[in-house]
Amino acid sequence: MQRQNAARRQAKSFITKTSVMRHEVNERKTMLLAILIGIIVVALLLAAAVPMAYFRWKQQRRRQWFQTPFPPEWTTILEQDVALYRVLPPDLQRELQGHIQVFLQEKEFEGCAGFEVTLQVKLVLAALACLLLLNKPQEYYPTLRSVLIYPGAFLVNGRWRENSGVYEDGMDVHLGESWQHGAVALAWDQVLHDSRRPRSRQNVVIHEFAHQIDQHKGFSEGAAVFASADQAERFARAVRREFEHLRHEVDDGIDDVIDEYGVVSPMEFFAVATEAFFTMPEELRRFHAELYNCLVNFYRLDPASWRDANGNQ
Ligand SMILES: [Zn+2]
């Protein structure tokens, strides 16, 4: 009987020990789970906080650059070499100066084929590129890193669609080129020629940076970048109609304020229509009123109302 009691005590003590051990293992598991959840929560918070802090820091830095006083000698260069700067209303001139300061800080300028990049080169390019950014929330061409500048026309190897619609492979002479992978290339002699001439109709910098906006937003591929679906639909309709109209004009040998190169594709049409919008706005408004109004909505600017100190466009 005594032996039986001892065995029972031993069994009871074993059961108690086992349940204590089980309890300890469960506690450890719970603690590990809590630590793991804690680590995941901290990682998620960091993943959200770091980009937000970076974004805020970037915005603050941009604000500082934007507000830096614009050197008077820089203004002189703009007045001499950028005809469109002279016709801008004073508030837009001030805004453009701010954007130029940000653009110069954020983008690389690289001289190619022995070309030397001077302050004049940087200012003219930045002014024309930033003209397209006026009067709306800014993104400063987020995918663009470098502007490559050649002294004159340069050769590019690739596949090209001619105005006739025929594709050709091989080397082609270019005055400008916009790539999706972060670069725009330009021929300086053409840039300066277009920039100095009022009502130039063509402007290679405006053309290539219109492509940059388009490539980023996917506008010519149908992305809605307008304030309303109604505006987007109106623009798509106007572009389709004007694109077909330009094709017929080119076939019939009729000259238009929109460059005939626009018949190559909707993407090129958007780029040449943007050139006409900024450099021949009154003519574009007169002969292509709906397209002009759509571009006013798109760029949130009305270049037909711009005049220089003498009242000239
Ligand atoms: Zn183009």
165-197: pLDDT as tens digits: 667 777 888 899 888 778 999 999 999 999 999
Tell me, in angstroms, the distance from the centre of ligand 1 to residue 213's CA: 12
The pLDDT of residue 226 is above 70: no
Tell me, in angstroms, the distance from the centre of ligand 1 to residue 177's CA: 7
CB-based contact 215:180 (threshold 8 Å): yes
> In sequence order, what are the residues at sequence separation of 6 or more whose Cβ sits closer than 8 angstroms to the Cβ of residue 241?
none
Map out the domains of the chain as residue ranges: 1-67, 70-305
Tell me, in angstroms, the distance from the centre of ligand 1 to residue 92's CA: 26
Q: What one-character DSSP code corresponds to residue 252?
A: T
| Integer Cα distance of 254 and 260 in angstroms | 9
Tell me, in angstroms, the distance from the centre of ligand 1 to residue 304's CA: 23
Provide the CA 216 distance to its chain's centre, in angstroms: 5
| Integer Cα distance of 302 and 300 in angstroms | 7
- Average pLDDT, integer, range 106-124: 97
Tell me, in angstroms, the distance from the centre of ligand 1 to residue 21's CA: 75
The pLDDT of residue 14 is above 70: no
Tell me, in angstroms, the distance from the centre of ligand 1 to residue 170's CA: 17
Q: Give the C-alpha distances (Å, rounded to integers) separating 51 from 4, 48, 54, 57, 278.
A: 71, 6, 5, 10, 36
| Integer Cα distance of 268 and 246 in angstroms | 12
Q: Give the C-alpha distances (Å, rounded to integers) separating 1 from 10, 14, 298.
A: 14, 20, 100
Tell me, in angstroms, the distance from the centre of ligand 1 to residue 226's CA: 22
- Average pLDDT, integer, range 2-20: 66
CATH annotation of 70-305: 3.40.390.10
Average pLDDT value over all residues in the chain: 87
168 three-state secondary structure? strand
pTM: 0.81
Tell me, in angstroms, the distance from the centre of ligand 1 to residue 266's CA: 10
